[in-house]
Structure 1
Amino acid sequence: MSDVWLPFMDAGIAAIGGALAGSVATVGAAFATGWWQRENIRLTGRAEHWRQRREPRSQVYREFASAVADIRDRVRTQPHMPDSGLAWVSPEFFSDTLTDQLREMLVPVRRSWLDVALAGPQSVSGSAAEIEKACRKLVVFAMGARSTSSDESSQAYVGSSRAFIETANSLSPLLDSFIEIAQAALDDDGTRTQIE
């Protein structure tokens, strides 16, 4: 019985096995093709999304960096600006003109900082927040030094003056760091999972 049954089963099993193997291979190929197409579409869509965000981001980053550079350069060109964060300057340094100009120049910094924060990513907006805070401090310290300049030996004047110089000297490294982080964000083609 076993001899009769075995040849019959071999041919039947072979036919069913062949059909089953062909079906499994076809279904497997369809799944693999479908997965590959979905993955390719996802990556292409993500890259296109990042490309569309890159141009507006580039403009926002440029406006912010330019506004900060304006403040930095205005302070640098102020007569008798010391290089050392430990130095302080005479009260004439903190003129009404300087403090008024710094207050006016802070407006585009704050406006463009908000645009950077909305454009992201977090690494860029965090760097921009640090710079915006330094620019605000710069204005506050200039106004503080101006209001206490009648007594240049007072603790308040010396403290405000030193803090102003130290903050002013920190703007260039902060701006350089921002530009480096912004470039990395703009160089991302969207295939990375996230820039942080």
Structure 2
Amino acid sequence: MDAGLAAVLGALAGSVATIGAALATGWAQRESVRITARSEHRRERREPRQEAYSAFISLLFELRNTIAPLTAVSEGEFTDQVSQVSVDRCTNLADRIVGKSIDVALAGPVEVTRRAGNLQALGFMLAVSVKAVQEKFAEEGFLTDHRRTLAYNYMTKRVLEYQKALNEFVVSAQAALDDDGTV
């Protein structure tokens, strides 16, 4: 190999190495900018999400705290605890939960939105059940021990189901707020 060919090959190898290094550096910079932008985007979404989740969770706990005492009494006292005031309060809370669930759905992510929709449906079902208990047991001759037991067991089961869904929602909301976009 003569000196001229060695010089050309050396220059070519140096050029290829320089081009490779430039490409690698450019790719690394692009990835760094992308990660930074994604992290910034997540940070900007965290505060509105936290506000939406907080308002939603507050209403969910308020509904739970309104309904749970109705099932905390004995079966014999159950229907006596269901008043028009508790019906109105449950209905109002269920309506407000619908509005806040829209905010949560828009804030996302998908898993939180799915759990919020489930809680919205469970809350509505609880409010309707309280109203049905109040209306039906007010009817003359409708109240029997068997019907009271069935209603009590149904409501107790629904409250427990609601509480479980509420706990799962809180955990998924925390996970969404903790997500910094690096995973």
Query: Could you state the TM-score of these two structures normalised by the residue count of structure 1?
Result: 0.83
Q: CA deviation at 1:63?
A: 0.7
In the alignment, is the contact (CA less than 8 A) between 1:141 and 1:161 conserved in 2?
no
Partner of 2:103: 115
State the secondary structure of the residue aligned to 2:181.
coil
Q: CA deviation at 1:148?
A: 1.1
Q: CA deviation at 1:191?
A: 2.0
1:17 counterpart = 2:9: yes
Residue in structure 1 matching 2:52, options 46, 57, 60: 60
Partner of 2:164: 173
Give the 5 Å matches for 1:96-115.
Answer: 96-115=84-103
Residue in structure 2 matching 1:148, options 128, 132, 136: 136
Q: How many residues of Structure 1 are paired with residues of Structure 2 in the alignment? A: 180
1:88-125, Cα deviation, whole Å (9 max, x unpaired): 75432221111011011112211111111111111111
Residue in structure 1 matching 2:178, options 180, 183, 187: 187
1:46 counterpart = 2:38: yes
Q: 1:142 to 1:182 in 2, by over 3 A?
A: same
CA distance, structure 2, for counterparts of residue 145 and residue 176 of structure 1: 26
CA distance, structure 1, for counterparts of residue 182 and residue 93 of structure 2: 38
Q: Mind listing any 5+ residue stretches in structure 1 that lack a counterpart?
A: 1-8
In the alignment, is the contact (CA less than 8 A) between 1:152 and 1:158 conserved in 2?
no
Give the 5 Å matches for 1:122-133.
Answer: 122-133=110-121
Q: Mind listing any 5+ residue stretches in structure 2 that lack a counterpart?
A: none
Q: CA RMSD in A?
A: 2.1
CA distance, structure 1, for counterparts of residue 22 and residue 164 of structure 2: 55
CA distance, structure 1, for counterparts of residue 40 and residue 78 of structure 2: 55
Give the 5 Å matches for 1:54-93.
Answer: 54-78=46-70, 81-82=72-73, 90-93=78-81
Higher helix share: 2
In the alignment, is the contact (CA less than 8 A) between 2:78 and 2:148 conserved in 1?
no
Q: CA deviation at 1:181?
A: 1.0
In the alignment, is the contact (CA less than 8 A) between 2:76 and 2:148 conserved in 1?
no
State the secondary structure of the residue aligned to 1:190.
coil
Residue in structure 1 matching 2:24, options 32, 36, 40: 32
In the alignment, is the contact (CA less than 8 A) between 1:82 and 1:165 conserved in 2?
no
In the alignment, is the contact (CA less than 8 A) between 2:55 and 2:100 conserved in 1?
yes
Determine what percentage of the aligned residue pairs are the same residue: 36
Query: Could you state the TM-score of these two structures normalised by the residue count of structure 2?
Result: 0.89
